[in-house]
Amino acid sequence: MAPHRTQPGAMQPEAEVTIARLGSAGDGVAETPEGPVFLAGTLPGERVLARMAGRRGEGQAAEPLEIRAASPDRVAPPCPHFLVECGACALQHWAMPAYAAWKRARLVDALERAGQPATPVAEMVIAAPNTRRRADLALKRLQGGAMALGFHQRGSAAVADLATCHVLDPVLVALFRPLRELLRRMPALKREGSAVLNLLDSGPDLLLRTDGPLDAPQRAMLAAFGTAHGIPRIAWALKDGPVENAAQAGPVRLDLSGVSVAPPPGAFLQAAPEGEAAIIAAVLAGLSAQKLPVRARIADLYAGIGTLSFPLSARGRVAAYEGDAAAVAALDAGARKAGGRVEAIRRDLAYRPLLPAELNAFGAVVLDPPYAGAAEQVAQITRSKVPVVIYVSCNPVALARDAAALVKAGFKAVSAVPVDQFRWSPHLESVVSFRR
Ligand SMILES: C[S@@+](CC[C@H](N)C(=O)[O-])C[C@H]1O[C@@H](n2cnc3c(N)ncnc32)[C@H](O)[C@@H]1O
């Protein structure tokens, strides 16, 4: 039933709506004469009593008061924090087959929008629960001095104080309680901060950002915490300032396709080991299908600490470009151990993308840009003679835009692999292989 009009362009404060589809953030969307209404926690086909909660883009945000007709694909969410407090997951209430089909369709849709509807799209690899090895947690001092530690609440700056998490590795979840207790006692955390937890082969790695200074007694507290919980390194920064090692009891290490690297504090890691393996396999399969010349050089753009560079080096000499100085240093140190087949180069590819004359030296370009995509770099690739491009994406919207530019320049998408590393979230990674 469509909501009744009160005045043109305005909706009743409460109305029953039917969910037509899911939006890109994973919210149910009801199409109404007054525009789309977005309802978190609802599913396609459901009839929902909604309370309007204010404008959202072209439409309205609303709160679901009652699910009057539930989807047959609705399931009980495993996590007690889901939607009630925590905004990290959006889709725990959806049966896996329907969820997986929706996510895979995001990649199909991106390829259609890029003018490549016939591209073969593989089945989606879905990371298992409790395997995510990277968490960027928010910290907030509450009234009375208590500490909230968790992900942000949906559409809010409030922090969900988490007792558990069904996506993170249990080794990281086990740190929630002692870390919260430690931070409660630390004056360096005045009002708010963050804690990046990376699970490395050497154990958890912690980067704390606080809004107050860290004195010697607090450094001693961090050192004792690291020893007690098997955390070889705890790094610290004042807000967004420079990062320093506040307590280091031993080396940090992570194996990347047989090369041991020492990731810098807070380093970007592919979110789940299973997801990383699937992305590497898809990149290598994409290259194999293109029959590169034996001596081909490969450019790995947005290389991070070398997650893709080291496996790629089995196929040719790799020039790995990355903008972050600490990541480049870690990649360079790993490359020296790997026998000189990987060269690490620091370069900001948004301000100084590789130009056609540079790109033409490569038999293939692999790029794995951040969420915003790689508009500047792709514009240069379209003017080059590079025959093969493998695009690793974490944002189907940016992928559709960048893929359209490649297609316009004569590339064809020959294969696509969706990878779900952020289970139950709307995020999707994909690997798309292009050739001219
Ligand atoms: C999605 S991560 C991929 C990293 C790596 N390929 C991996 O699989 O671990 C994107 C990387 O791009 C880097 N980056 C972001 N903006 C950049 C820019 N303008 N120029 C160069 N690198 C950039 C980030 O530091 C990050 O390491």
User: Which of residues 2 and 50 earns the better pLDDT score?
Assistant: 50
Q: pLDDT of 293-309, one tens digit each? A: 878 899 999 999 999 99
State the Cα–Cα distance between residues 305 and 394, nearest whole angstrom: 17
State the Cα–Cα distance between residues 13 and 1, nearest whole angstrom: 15
The whole-number average pLDDT for the span 324-338 is: 96
In 57-211, beta strands by DSSP E:
59-69, 125-126, 134-141, 147-150, 192-200, 203-210
**CATH topology match: 14-69 vs 134-252:** yes
Q: pLDDT of 43-100, one tens digit each? A: 999 999 999 998 888 899 999 999 999 999 999 999 999 988 999 999 999 999 999 9
Residue 120 has pLDDT above 60, yes or no: yes
Residue 7 has pLDDT above 70, yes or no: no
Amino acid at 89: C
Counting ligand 1 atoms within 8 A of each CB, the residue from 322, 345, 394 with the most, and so the one to mutate, is 322
CA of 324 to the centre of ligand 1 (A): 8
Q: What is the DSSP letter of 265?
A: T
Q: pLDDT of 13-40, one tens digit each? A: 999 999 999 999 999 999 999 899 999 9
Which H/E stretch holds residue 401? helix 396-408
Is 368 among the annotated ligand-binding positions? yes
State the Cα–Cα distance between residues 252 and 244, nearest whole angstrom: 15
CA of 398 to the centre of ligand 1 (A): 15
Is 376 among the annotated ligand-binding positions? no
Residue 156 has pLDDT above 90, yes or no: no
Q: Would you tell me how many other CB atoms lie within 10 Å of the CB of residue 347?
A: 14
CA-proximal residue: ligand 1, atom 23 (nearest): 323
Q: What is the pLDDT of residue 84?
A: 84
The residue among 152, 153, 164, 168 whose CA lies nearest residue 204 is: 168
Reply yes or no on whether 89 is catalytic: no
Q: Would you tell me how many other CB atoms lie within 10 Å of the CB of residue 171?
A: 15
Is 270 among the annotated ligand-binding positions? yes
How would you classify the pairing of strands 244-248 and 203-210?
Answer: unpaired
**Thinking of the domain 97-128+268-435, which architecture would CATH place it in?**
3-Layer(aba) Sandwich (3.40)
Q: pLDDT of 238-296, one tens digit each? A: 999 999 999 999 999 999 999 999 999 999 999 999 999 999 999 999 999 887 887 88
Q: Would you tell me how many other CB atoms lie within 10 Å of the CB of residue 83?
A: 18
DSSP result, 200-212: ETTEEEEEEEESS
Q: What is the pLDDT of residue 399?
A: 98
Counting ligand 1 atoms within 8 A of each CB, the residue from 268, 279, 377, 428 with the most, and so the one to mutate, is 268
SS3 132: strand
Which H/E stretch holds residue 258? none
> In the structure, what pLDDT confidence band is assigned to residue 5 with cuts at 50, 70 and 90?
very low
State the Cα–Cα distance between residues 102 and 237, nearest whole angstrom: 40
Q: What is the DSSP letter of 85?
A: T
CA of 302 to the centre of ligand 1 (A): 4
> In the structure, what pLDDT confidence band is assigned to residue 9 with cuts at 50, 70 and 90?
low
Report the CATH number of the 14-69 domain: 2.40.50.140
State the Cα–Cα distance between residues 221 and 204, nearest whole angstrom: 17
> Alpha carbon 158 to chain centroid distance?
21
User: Which of residues 124 and 10 earns the better pLDDT score?
Assistant: 124
Q: pLDDT of 336-383, one tens digit each? A: 998 889 999 999 999 999 999 999 999 999 999 999 999 999 999 999
Q: CA–CA distance from 18 to each of 3, 21, 69 (Å)?
A: 10, 9, 9
Select 134-252's CATH number: 2.40.50.1070, 1.10.510.10, 1.25.40.10, 3.30.60.50: 2.40.50.1070
Residue 10 has pLDDT above 70, yes or no: no
Q: What is the mean pLDDT of the chain?
A: 95
> In the structure, what pLDDT confidence band is assigned to residue 1 with cuts at 50, 70 and 90?
very low
Q: What is the pLDDT of residue 2?
A: 43
Amino acid at 195: A
Q: What is the pLDDT of residue 320?
A: 98
The residue among 73, 12, 7, 69 whose CA lies nearest residue 37 is: 12
> In the structure, what pLDDT confidence band is assigned to residue 388 with cuts at 50, 70 and 90?
very high
Measured from the CA of 305, which atom of ligand 1 is nearest? 9
State the Cα–Cα distance between residues 325 and 328, nearest whole angstrom: 5
Domain ranges within the chain, ordered by starting residue: 14-69, 97-128+268-435, 134-252
Which H/E stretch holds residue 75? none
Q: What is the pLDDT of residue 338?
A: 84
Task: Give Cβ neighbours of residue 143 (< 8 Å, ≥ 6 apart).
Answer: none
Task: Please give all residues whose beta carbon lies within 6 A of any atom in ligand 1, as ranges.
Answer: 268, 270, 302-304, 307-308, 322-324, 327, 348-350, 368-370, 394
SS3 390: strand
CA of 348 to the centre of ligand 1 (A): 9
Helices 396-408, 375-382: crossing angle, 10 deg rounding: 20
In the chain, the percentage of residues whose pLDDT exceeds 90 is 92
Asked whether the beta carbons of 410 and 418 are under 8 A apart, the reply is: no
Task: Give Cβ neighbours of residue 370 (< 8 Å, ≥ 6 apart).
Answer: 302, 394
Is 429 among the annotated ligand-binding positions? no
